[in-house]
Amino acid sequence: MGAGASAGASVSAEFNRSRALAKRIFNDKATLKKLWTVLDFNGNGMVSLAEIDKMIILFNEANAYEGFFKGMNNKPALMRAYKRTIEGEGDGDAYVQRHEFTILLRNLYLYNQFWAVFDGIDGDDRRVDINEFKAGVAKMGYNLTDEEAEATFAKIDKNGGGQILFDEFCDYCMKAAGLGTNRIAVNFDEPEKIDPEELDIEECRDMVKQMLG
């Protein structure tokens, strides 16, 4: 087995572990209530971006909740998750309210998974050019021809600028994964069981040949 294949297998195992953990947390009413209590420490029923950021930093450092928040202290992913929650799936104000909390958690999970992939491909400037893209997907264990890589790159690079931005990458991933609408907005007083397919970030791992193909 080559280095690329080994890297791909390692990524797959980590995605599977984190996906299983996410599903357990999202379907555990007691855990959701505890998390919300910590986040909404003043009990006013709504939380700001700054409060969400503090929670992530705290739980990331403490490795709390079986490590669910470990590695989530990524500001680009946080901003995307927050904006997606309040603008795309919330009620439009600047705060995340109690009934939007499960949406926020879902988005934090998704966008941090997307960030892990994007950051692994990116060099150091939060922009991915075609050469970085080809090298990155090869490093992840995928053998694409130049034509396949260039075609996939063009699909993600919506504005044709020759570089993939994180926003473009996220938008394409969300659309390709069928998460363009709110499908996990649940009241955690009466949580619904989330279908495993709703959180199939394995599709993100296989992005270049399946999800983004």
So what's the pLDDT on residue 43? Answer: 92
Q: DSSP string covering 85-101, please?
A: IIIIIS-SSSSEEGGGH
All domains in the chain, ordered by first residue: 3-211 (1.10.238.10)
So what's the pLDDT on residue 76? Answer: 94
Residue 131 in tokens: 């050469």
So what's the pLDDT on residue 173? Answer: 81
Please state, in angstroms and rounded to a whole number, the distance separating the CA atoms of residues 213 and 21. 28
Q: Which helix (H) or strand (E) holds 116?
A: helix 101-121
- Helix (H/G/I), strand (E/B), else coil: 122: coil
Please state, in angstroms and rounded to a whole number, the distance separating the CA atoms of residues 133 and 110. 20
So what's the pLDDT on residue 138? Answer: 82
User: One digit per residue, pLDDT tens: the chain, 213 residues?
Assistant: 454 455 455 556 666 778 888 888 988 889 999 999 999 989 999 999 999 999 999 999 998 898 999 999 999 999 999 999 998 665 668 899 998 998 899 899 989 988 988 888 887 788 999 999 988 888 777 778 899 889 989 989 988 999 999 999 888 887 776 665 444 444 445 444 444 344 444 444 454 334 333
So what's the pLDDT on residue 179? Answer: 65
- Helix (H/G/I), strand (E/B), else coil: 67: helix
Q: For the stretch 30-60, what's the b/e string if a residue is b when 16 or more beta carbons lie within 10 angstroms of its beta carbon? A: ebbeebbeebbeeeeeebebebbeebbeebb
- Helix (H/G/I), strand (E/B), else coil: 74: coil
The single residue listed with the structure tokens 């050019």 is: 129
So what's the pLDDT on residue 201? Answer: 41
Closest to 45 measured CA to CA, from 102, 107, 99 = 99
So what's the pLDDT on residue 60? Answer: 92
| 82 close to 96: Cβ distance less than 8 angstroms | yes
Q: For the stretch 116-149, what's the b/e string if a residue is b when 16 or more beta carbons lie within 10 angstroms of its beta carbon? A: bbbbebbeeeeebbbebbbebbbebbbebeeebb
User: Considering the entire predicted model, what is its pTM?
Assistant: 0.78
Q: At what angle do helices 75-83 and 49-62 cross, to 10 degrees?
A: 130
